[in-house]
Structure 1
């Protein structure tokens, strides 16, 4: 059960109502995470702006979803694992095997593997990656822009992982649990 109220769009007012209406229009649904985030309209707006900006970056949707899956597994966020497994396999073109592999930092795609390896280093070191880690990412084909975006995606996903774990957000996606093999 959610530890923060999940504000229903029909009960929202002011900025909260506007933000939830925008989510519904963009996605066709209003996920429980956004209903919980809108307890502070500033938090939901920050999330939407950050994720919207990154969606226009150089990393493809399938790489972004792999990064989300890795980070969610690392942070034991079942809400995010569930959401990103669904999004990854239904909207971003991942098959079940690739989605599962991404949770463990693996991919058959070379660029995705480079991004996942760098993200693992970022998560493990809290950003204090070595020169060797950075050199390996570049040697594997990541541009400096890609490197910056990997860090940004890790940060965005850590934010949503921590938020959903604190909030106890009710999972409104097909459920996936961390640690499942």
Structure 2
């Protein structure tokens, strides 16, 4: 059980309130991870800055969810896996592709597979991609700019994944059907 509170707008430190407001506007509610993160205004505002850039970048929302779900599974972040499973399905990923990612396998969709492979490899190799890793991604139709953008998505998800693993926020009822535990 975590000793980190899940802050609301009423209980969050004043310096975290703009971040919570931004996330509430984006999602329609304040996710428990954001409430836990609000304990640190620096962490909270860092996520919001990256979040805006990631969701305003060149990837589609389904592609972003492939990356975020892959990262959550690779980092074994239970809260984030449930959350991004829900969002991935809402964004139109097939249940088969979502199940594959949740099982640390590649999705059937070739573009999603390239994104998922790169995301997992980036984390597992701690950014030390070799020529083969990069070439496989580029051969799937992505660009060098896209490869660097995957790093930004990974940075954003690392914030939420690590925060989830440290603070262990409770899973919201809306995500409980997609609860996940590492194998």
Query: How many Å apart are 1:13 and its aligned residue?
Result: 5.2
Given that residues 3 and 166 in structure 1 are in contact (C-alpha distance below 8 angstroms), is that contact kept between their aligned partners in structure 2?
no
Query: Any residues of structure 2 matched to 1:13-28 within 5 Å, and which?
Result: 14-28=14-28
Confirm whether residue 178 of structure 1 aligns to residue 181 of structure 2.
yes
Task: Name the SS of the counterpart of 2:101 in structure 1.
Answer: helix
In structure 2, distance between residues paired with 1:157 and 1:25: 19
Query: Any residues of structure 2 matched to 1:1-181 within 5 Å, and which?
Result: 1-12=1-12, 14-90=14-90, 92-103=91-102, 104-172=104-172, 173-175=174-176, 176-179=179-182
Deviation per residue, 1:132-170 (Å, 9 max, x gap): 111121111111111111222222222211111101111
In structure 2, distance between residues paired with 1:34 and 1:116: 25
Query: How many Å apart are 1:178 and its aligned residue?
Result: 2.8
What RMSD, in angstroms, separates the aligned Cα atoms of the two structures? 1.7
Task: Name the SS of the counterpart of 2:134 in structure 1.
Answer: helix
Moved more, 119-128 or 100-109: 100-109
Given that residues 77 and 161 in structure 2 are in contact (C-alpha distance below 8 angstroms), is that contact kept between their aligned partners in structure 1?
yes
Given that residues 6 and 36 in structure 1 are in contact (C-alpha distance below 8 angstroms), is that contact kept between their aligned partners in structure 2?
yes
Given that residues 23 and 29 in structure 1 are in contact (C-alpha distance below 8 angstroms), is that contact kept between their aligned partners in structure 2?
yes
Given that residues 3 and 169 in structure 1 are in contact (C-alpha distance below 8 angstroms), is that contact kept between their aligned partners in structure 2?
no
Deviation per residue, 1:68-112 (Å, 9 max, x gap): 11111122111000110111112x111322211123241222221
Unaligned runs of 5+ in 2: none
